Amino acid sequence: MRIKKLIAAGAAIMAVTASLTGCSGSSSSSGSSASGGSSAASSTAKINVVGAENEYSDVAAQIGGQYVTASAIMSDPNTDPHTFEASPSVAKELSKAQLVIQNGVGYDDFMAKLEKASPNNNRTVIDAQQVLGLPDNTPNPHLWYDPKTMPAVAKQIAADLGKIQPAHESYFQSQLTTFDKSLSHLDRPDRRLQEGPSEHPGRGDRTRRGLHAPGGRNRHQDAVVPPGRNHE
């Protein structure tokens, strides 16, 4: 059933993509994959950014500021990534994204399937695992707990946003500087990153769920992400 729904979502992506652009696949590089897009459109409209998890979309919103529209596929802290099933609305959202940020390490494998079903020259993909150079057998996939993760991902976000909208490159770099300064108090990894995966990984993503207060706001947000807008 899950595979059938993924295929249906993929079909929805291809339908939307075909009607919008009819693009071909993108190529990989270290940390992100990207291909050229329309410079005329990218210099005037807000950049559509989609994070697989709200931890990453929040960082993108802070780096991109007034020049981006950021959203998260898994914005509900109660969402279990191991059983997540993409809907046509998610497929449509992803098809329009110019920048996608995902965790990797097997945490959000559904993203690769959706992206493969929707090849798009105008989309850049940032994978936190690749940015950090981590192996597939990394014990704990919750990479955002490690204070090294967000600065590295934020740096890649600023670089890729600058490529999408070169006219605002200095703005993105200034936002990155502000972001880095807000994280300067962090000097050691969160102990939960070192504890390894949940004892019962099939029963939901307890670790991620435990970090969020009712309404979706991260109670420990200041441990890895400086205060920004509320998570939706």
What average pLDDT score do residues 89-94 get? 87
Measured distance CA(121)–CA(221) in Å, rounded: 33
Determine, yes or no, domain membership for 95: yes
Task: Indicate the pLDDT class of residue 133, thresholds 50, 70 and 90.
Answer: very high
Give the tens place of pLDDT for each residue, 207-217: 343 333 233 33
Determine, yes or no, domain membership for 119: yes
What average pLDDT score do residues 110-115 get? 89
At residue 89, the pLDDT reads 84
The number of domains in the chain is 1
Measured distance CA(188)–CA(17) in Å, rounded: 43
Determine, yes or no, domain membership for 27: yes
The answer, yes or no, to whether residue 134 has pLDDT greater than 50, is yes
Residue 107 DSSP symbol:
T
CATH of the domain at 139: 3.40.50.1980
Better-scored residue on pLDDT, 32 or 232: 32
In 3-state terms, what secondary structure has residue 113?
helix
27-36, 54-63, 151-160, 172-181, range with the lowest pLDDT? 27-36
Task: Indicate the pLDDT class of residue 101, thresholds 50, 70 and 90.
Answer: very high
At residue 192, the pLDDT reads 56
Of 10, 101, 110, 95, the closest CA to residue 62 belongs to 101
Please report where in the chains the tokens 């802290």 appear, as a residue: 77
Determine, yes or no, domain membership for 32: yes
Determine, yes or no, domain membership for 210: yes
Determine, yes or no, domain membership for 157: yes
Give the tens place of pLDDT for each residue, 30-59: 477 654 444 444 466 999 999 999 999 999
- In sequence order, the 6+-apart residues with CB closer than 8 A to the CB of 51 are 57, 58, 59, 60, 70, 71, 72, 73, 100, 101, 102
The answer, yes or no, to whether residue 196 has pLDDT greater than 60, is no
Determine, yes or no, domain membership for 232: no
Determine, yes or no, domain membership for 230: no
Range of the domain at 65: 2-224
At residue 193, the pLDDT reads 52
Give the tens place of pLDDT for each residue, 59-91: 999 999 999 999 999 977 777 887 788 788 888
Buried b (16+ CB within 10 A) or exposed e, 31-52: bbbbeebeeeebeeeebbbbbb
Cα 200-197-91 angle, rounded to 5 deg? 90
